[in-house]
Chains A and B, each alone.
Chain A
Amino acid sequence: MAERELIHSGVVRTTHWLVAISFVGLLVSGIAILIAHPRFYWGETGTYSTPAWLDLGLNPVYDNTGWGRALHFLSAWVFASSGLVYITAGFVSRHFLSDLFPSKTELRSGAIANVLLLRPLRRGDAAASWRYNVVQKLSYLIVVFALCPAMIWTGLAMSPALSAQYPFLAAVFGGHQSARTVHFIVADLLVLFLVVHLTMLVLVGFGTHVRAMITGYRRSSEGGI
């Protein structure tokens, strides 16, 4: 029996932390940009003098967009390139196929309910925390293949240069302001994911799981080997 087992590859670990750091950068700078105009619209245009679809009711703060935008785009470059490496490696190494795509049995509603009712956790099954359960697999897949690409897409759609060259970027949402609104909604979903991700980590053992994502290994004493 092995003393320890490699569970996170070097690519997964590196890109995980690059994405984590750049996500913090994107979130902080995203808020800095958002509070300069905390109102949302659908369509092409929207200003203080047009009705908003969603008004956050905050007093606008204008003087944080300089560093905010610089940090946002620098972080976005790190985020997007790490994501691209992660996704490419995930397919090439068959990591997605063997670890993330759920099986037919897992997709049965009973199996999903089992996870949602936190039964494995309540059984105190340490080994279970090292296997991705079906809800976890599905949320990772949604984050990786739907939410993150949607963030990058809507972000690029707001660019006046790129939307001139590639008009479909904003057109599929119905215009510049729609892209901005979707960018905000998907950002909220990603923050929700982060909250659940961190909560689950605390519930199953923050230290051991974070250590495994840094070193790549888990010890036999941590269960499941």
Chain B
Amino acid sequence: MKRIARRAFLRAGLSTIAGVAGIGGAIYTARHRGLVPPDHSGLFGIGETLTYGAQRLLVSRQTLAREFDRSHISTVAEVNGYPPENDQYLRLVANNFDDWRLTVDGLVARPTSFSLAELQRLPSRSQITLHVCEEGWSFIAEWTGVPLSLLLDLVGASPAARYVVFLPYDDWWGSLDMVDALHDQTLLAYGMNGRDLPTEHGAPLRLRVARQLGYVSIKYLSRITVTDSLAPFGRGLGSAAPEIGYSWYAGI
């Protein structure tokens, strides 16, 4: 009887140690391999971390989202939210974005600011992809713009870069990890369905991230900053979304 109790005690002790060591090891590995999102704290943070980590492991860096034929383009492209109403943005609209410039700075060798015409002269990419809103609706549209990876090459983004932060003319800012920032279908889009990007879709320039939900594709861009830490931005959660209860990573 005594021996059995001792054996049970040993077994319980060993499995507890193994469990704690396993969880500790998993957390260490996840941190080390960049599988922990900036909004990982709290009860819901457990779910955020599992989802982000699992998708980063299950989805390869290069896989492209499906691209459709021109015949699949939706006749109406739904919009969420309204264009910024601050004077700065309204002045840009009034001037047809002639004075607009995109600043690219942070961990880059050559901080640069681009006019719309300069961006439009860079090599471009067009793709017809599905846009899914977290609310549940979706539409297909063609997006034309500069691949973000090309722009990051141009300004000499540092190998130490871990995130790219997108700052717009309104409050809905965001960021991407380098996997999505360097993805071939991640565009700085100035065109939609063969025309200039409409104001309500984020004119003059918006982000397009094909493998995440719509709210990650920041509109009305003003500045892009390359960084190794999200702590200095907002409340340090990676984007405006987690500050009001949404996920930073929206791959599902």
Contacts and interface: CB of A to CB of B under 8 A. Distances in A.
A132 interface: no
Interface centre among B46, B63, B65, B138, by most chain A C-beta atoms within 10 angstroms, is: B138
Interface string A44-72: 11111110000000001010011101110
A33 B213 CA distance: 14
Contact of B251 (A36, A46, A159): A159
Interface string B54-92: 010011100111101000101110100000000000000
Nearest to A167: B66
Contacts of A160: 65, 130, 132, 210-213, 251-252
A155 B75 CA distance: 27
B212 A46 contact: no
Contacts of B55: 159, 161-162
B87 to A, nearest CB: 28
Contacts of B75: 49
A73 interface: yes
Contacts of A164: 59, 63-66, 210-211
A73 B51 contact: yes
Contact of B136 (A76, A156, A161, A180): A180
A160 B133 CA distance: 10
Contacts of B47: 70-71, 73-74, 76-77
Contacts of B9: none
- Main SS class of interface, B: loop
Interface residues of B, number: 41
B134 A65 contact: yes
Contact of A66 (B64, B140, B246): B246
Nearest to B39: A70
B139 interface: yes
A161 B43 contact: no
Nearest to B139: A45
Nearest to A34: B136
A167 B210 CA distance: 14
Interface in B136-183: 136-140
B247 interface: yes
B245 interface: yes
Given A160-B213, A162-B55, A37 B136 contact: yes
A176 interface: yes
A48 B246 contact: no
A151 B46 CA distance: 21
Interface in B236-251: 244-247, 251
A177 interface: yes
Contacts of B133: 37
Contacts of B213: 160
B99 interface: no
A74 B43 contact: yes
B44 interface: yes
B83 to A, nearest CB: 19
B30 interface: no
